[in-house]
Amino acid sequence: MKELLVCLLAVLVPGLSWAGVIWRGDFESGNISQYSSTQRVSADRLQVVQSPVSQGRYALKATVKQGDDPINSSGNRNELVYQGREKAGSEYYYRWQVLFPRDYPSARTWQVFTQWHHTGCCGSPPVEFFVYGEEIRLTLTDSTTPWKTKLERGVWQDFILHVKWSSDPKVGFVELWHNGVRVLSKFMHATMYPGDGIYLKLGLYRSDTVQPVGVVYHDGFVQATQLADVLPPPPTTTEPKPPQGGEESPPVVPTGPLPEETTEEPASEEPAPEELVLPGCSSAGGPFWALALLGLGGLLRRTRRR
């Protein structure tokens, strides 16, 4: 009953603010005040802009030039920091959009655009998304790369990352959707270093061997406890025009939510893609929704290489 009610609300009340949302870093404040701090050489390296955007009115433009080193460490960077302080055993969904301009540089080395860093000293972050050559990669502790895809420039790309935070590889896992398709089923692996905490870094951080200027755009970051809480509202439908000449109106078939999510373990590190899902919801239409609505009508209301 509870799952059914959630599904109906997702369809009928698209503007509803879900209680499972933990934090938003979507720049809709018109500035970077949603974040804890910055690591940048100057304000123009991390700018909130109104174009291009993926959602809402604002997005982040992160720029890195060779020599940008605001924290006197390895590599060049300009990044926002959010101290979410995820604890071992916690589990979250993160969603955000990224755009690489058509002139984004290609280099056979790392260019990190999103990372969950550890609070301890030294080494690569336990969870990071980066560009290498002409690929986007997701890499975990001990340099395990469970997913990669071809780099596309000039288009917004949507990521949903589901993480269980743990230094125990039998407990921790990641799961990933890319552009609405589940491209990585639950992949069991350590997602933290023992004794360390986790915090988010968003922007651009790359090898200091990369010479061309690099720009990447970020938008829409949200953190929540359920998949449904990071999904966009369903599109609104337009009322059909009345028929002419006294003809009877054709039956209208309601649009239900996305197919139910499966929880099968992956057969390999690169499982077949699956469509984006909304857990707990049936895709049945017609009479199912009519009966459901009648029955529920009264219930609605860390640094990389030092």
pLDDT per residue as tens digits for the range 88-117? 999 999 999 999 999 999 999 999 999 999
pLDDT per residue as tens digits for the range 229-279? 999 877 766 565 555 554 444 444 444 444 444 444 444 444 445 555 444
pLDDT, position 245:
52
Place of tokens 């469970």: 146
pTM (2 d.p.): 0.74
Whole-number Å distance between alpha carbons of 254 and 4: 15
Q: Which of 14, 8, 3, 1 is nearest to 300 (CA)?
A: 8
Name the residue ranges covered by the structural domains of the chain. Answer: 2-229
Protein fold of 2-229: Jelly Rolls (2.60.120)
CB atoms < 10 A from the CB of 269, how many? Answer: 13
* CA count, 13 A, side-chain hemisphere, 70: 18
